[in-house]
Structure 1
Amino acid sequence: MTYHNLILGISIYLLLWEHLPHWGSWFKRLIAALPGPLQTLYEQWRCPYCVGFWIGLALHAVTGNWLFPAFGQMSADWGLVGAVLGWVFDGLAFAVLNKTGVIAINALSYPALLGMAKKQEMYGDP
């Protein structure tokens, strides 16, 4: 199992859906300027599993790395059908691990956010 694409995929998800919307209004204006169907896709792909599948496929296409190299062997054994199934299975596995990674990072960051809120409550905003 290779982790390079998975780490990159989790980072892409966190950046596009959890951080950029809070970094000023420029990103929201950018999303609002998109055509309606793309705005709908962005809103509906907030789920790290749903978008994780597509991020996994895109990263595989760009880097050529398989999350599980065994899926790459399917094309040698089954031909074109195996190649398509290998990509789909790799994308599905990526989606599960992407969602797991996002949940883990959010769980780890929650206590830090509570501590920051209590500090601001005690000492005021910096």
Structure 2
Amino acid sequence: MNISLALIGLSLHILIWEKLPDWGNWFNWIVEHLPRPFRYLYDSWSCPYCFGFWVALLLHALTSTYTLESLQHMPNYLGVMSQPVAWVLDSLATALLIMVGSLGLKALAVPAIKGHEMTQAFRSVRKEK
């Protein structure tokens, strides 16, 4: 299994939906001034699985990399449909990894933030004494 597509897809998802909107008003201004169909896509693709599927298809086209190497050699009876079927199946698997990665990072972030807040509160109480 090659997780490079999933890592790139997860990185792009975090950048576009979690980081860029907080880096100033310029990105939000661009999104607000997009044509309506593109704004709809931005809102709809905030789901890591949906975005992951489409970005995996794009990354397959750009890199010819597969998450599941077994899909590189599809059966001969599929003929010309073997490549599109392989890309779709691999993109579904890659999207699943992107979604699990996104959920995992969010699950780790909550206790980490809580622990940081508790540490800061403890330090501030020690400084007051």
Give the shorter-chain TM-score range.
0.7 to 0.9
**CA distance in 2: counterparts of 1:12 and 1:26, whole angstroms:** 18
Shift of 1:76: 4.9
Q: In the alignment, which residue of structure 1 is the partner of 2:38?
A: 38
Number of aligned residue pairs = 123
Deviation at 1:117, TM superposition (A): 4.3
Aligned to 1:17: 17
- Determine if the alignment matches structure 1 residue 58 to structure 2 residue 58: yes
How far does residue 95 in structure 1 lie from its aligned partner after superposition? 0.9
CA gap of 1:24–1:116, structure 2 versus 1, over 3 A, is farther
**Superposed displacement of residue 85, structure 1:** 0.7
- Residues 115 and 61 (structure 1 numbering): CA distance in 2 closer, same or farther, change over 3 Å? same
TM-score normalised to the size of structure 1? Answer: 0.87
In the TM superposition, 1:1-126 aligns within 5 A as 1-74=1-74, 76=76, 78-118=78-118
Work out the CA distance in 2 between the residues paired with 1:117 and 1:16: 27
Aligned-pair identity (%): 37
The one-character-per-residue Cα deviations of 1:79-115 (angstroms, maximum 9, x if unpaired) are 2111111011011111111100100111111122223
Between the aligned partners of 1:45 and 1:119, the Cα distance in structure 2 is 36
CA–CA distance in structure 2, aligned partners of residues 40 and 8 of structure 1: 23
